A and B are shown apart, each in its own frame.
Chain A
Amino acid sequence: MSTELSEPAVLSNSYNLPDAKGRFGDFGGLYVPETLMPLVLELTQAWEDAKKDETFWAEYHSLLKFFVGRPSPLYFAERLTDYYGGAKIYFKREELNHTGAHKINNCIGQILLAKRMGRTRIIAETGAGQHGVASATVCARFDLPCVVYMGALDVERQKPNVFRMNLLGATVNPVTAGNGTLKDAMNEALRDWVTNVHDTYYMIGTAAGMHPYPEMVRDFQTVIGKETKQQIMELEGRLPDAVIAAVGGGSNAIGMFHPFIDDENVKLIGVEAAGHGLDVYNGHAASLTGGRPGVLHGNRTYLLQDDDGQILEGHSISAGLDYPGIGPEHAHLFDIGRARYVSTTDTEALEAFQLTSRLEGIIPALECAHALARVGEIAKDVGKGGIVVLNLSGRGDKDIFTVANAIGKPMSGM
């Protein structure tokens, strides 16, 4: 494969959003305090410049190849395919990336941008800890101090990743406000940014937040979908019938979906976290299928909120999906019907986690287990002779303690 330099760095298809105001249809935008506005506008300009700079992309792709280990394989999940008896199921193996998830693709891009802007301090928010680990990793590699905000509850349920971040030299600040999950970590990161405006770069981990982050993070993650497209053509000689990915903020999903938006015959299917069930008030994290539009963390998007516009905490067993919003581009794709969004409960995700481990010899992240729980139905729906690609965006080592507790086999130790 030669994804390094030969193709245009940023995909251009007929779908050309966001617009100049950072809008994807009714969603996105720039809802930030005035103190941050000049910084966000400066970031937008720096991103626009970097986007056009071949040397920027050359360095990005070189790091993806030699540091991250890309391209990640597109793998035929033979036993799972046989198990369901429908379409062929392929895994895009993002969990084989350095640091164990797709998050590193984005961090490589953003750290190069931060260096380019002369920033000397990096802050990040993290839920499951995968983005925190990826941020800490690139900060170590590029010798920049890194502060990671992480909800206190998530610190508790993702201890191995906290240890990793510390090993990599990052400072992890537990956030006790609210429920102590991803949204609270993001609030605290924004408070840090508004206080340290002169030297600090905020490395947002998902394709959400204020413009230009949804676009920028997406563009750094489209390497997933672009590789997939090329690989499936090599393996099968045609495009898949459906691509499927778990959606929290939505960066792995948009990275997979975006290169396929123009290919109308490819179904795009996102899987949200239904937690205890969509019918349980404040018991899930399905912003699209169980929320409505509002404004949070710099953008207009679908949110979990009460009648008075207060944000609900939501719930998912997966720390990475436990967020009451979703990237604005997913909100748009949902509204125009180009992508379809379904959901998976905690219980279903736990079953899929174990099934995939046993059948494929791959322990998936709990986030991906949400997509895995729906892949059988989709494969059957598409039918024999069809092709489905699932973005296996992270590995599940970090989740073994959570899963052990949930299935009643708690481990002592970490």
Chain B
Amino acid sequence: MSIARIDARFAKLKAENKAAFVAYIMAGDPDVEASFEVLKGLPAAGADIIELGFPFSDPMAEGPTIQLAAERSLKSGTKMAHVFDLIKRFRELDQDTPLILMGYMNPVENMGYARFAQTASEAGADGVIVVDCPPEEADGLTDALDANDMALIRLATPTTDDNRLKTLVKRTKGFVYYVSVAGVTGVKSASADSVKDAVARVQKASGLPVVVGFGIKTPEAAAAIARVADGSVVGSVLVDAIKNSLPEKAPVNTKVLETAAILAHAVHTARL
């Protein structure tokens, strides 16, 4: 499946005139089993695509929310092997929802590109986002992912001009992730107006669906983005819901899946 799974999902959404609700959570946050409960509940809550973060000790583009999620995950003992195992168990339950791994270069380097790509693909991942791997450094990893029919998803940003965009979209498959603000995750917010032109530009250059993330915090904001882009990505809000449920006695997944369902509804009804 892999890239085909991503393409099929966007085709289905397009036919329904819906934007994708893209949900991000960190694998192993707060621990492997609790994050599996969240992960397996996301499709029913309305997630069309799942971004599964793999933790890194030094996440230099993350705001405090995702930094803390990575810390919780690592502190609970999460290893890359657990991350792949989570995906494998998810795939036994769901064969249609694209799953994208998202993280930083060193854990990938540490495994070696070939072994990383093969292991991720066998587990059932469809694409990878590596935050600190720009096109200039991506050939080796892209080759390995190509060999396993997986997509290296690119990030385009407000600092990406037309020239840069040409470099960026080479060898990109699946979709492009437009980072709507210059900054770290979960802090600043962008208005839908300001991203509309950028999304059109990236769609044109890549010929691929464009999802928008960073700083989308409310159902209203997620819906506004859904009207101008092919998908809204929400991460920090879901991760915060996990964090906030930790002191409570209720299972971690209850609150976060409720939050996801509200956001998903807003995204899916935005174009009505």
Contact = CB atoms under 8 A, between A and B. Distances in A.
Contact of B134 (A30, A191, A196): A30
A195 B184 contact: yes
B79 A33 contact: no
Interface stretch (A57-65, A93-101, A293-301, A354-362): A293-301
B159 interface: yes
A198 B157 CA distance: 13
A212 interface: no
User: Which of A178, A194, A300, A307 has the most CB atoms of chain B within a 10 A radius of its CB?
Assistant: A194
Contacts of B76: none
Nearest to A313: B57
B57 A294 contact: no
Q: Which of B56, B57, B62 has the most CB of A within 10 A?
A: B57
B74 A310 contact: yes
Contacts of A190: 60-61
B133 interface: yes
A70 B182 CA distance: 40
Given A38-B160, A294-B109, A30 B183 contact: no
Interface in B89-105: 104-105
Contact of B132 (A31, A183, A310): A31
Interface in B136-178: 136-137, 154-161, 164, 168
A305 interface: yes
Given A21-B136, A308-B80, A33 B110 contact: no
A197 B137 contact: no
Contact of B107 (A195, A197, A298, A310): A310
Most chain B CB within a 10 A radius of its CB, from A32, A198, A295, A303: A295
B106 A303 contact: yes
Interface string A1-41: 00000000000000000000100000001111111111100
Contacts of A297: 58, 60
A181 B244 CA distance: 28
A139 B208 CA distance: 45
Contacts of B190: none
Contact of A191 (B61, B133, B158, B161): B61
Contacts of B74: 310
A177 B184 CA distance: 15
Among B109, B132, B133, B155, which residue has the most Cβ atoms of chain A within 10 A? B132
Contacts of B63: 191
A195 B183 contact: yes
Given A34-B134, A35-B182, 7 more contacts: A30-B134, A33-B134, A35-B61, A187-B59, A194-B182, A196-B182, A310-B57
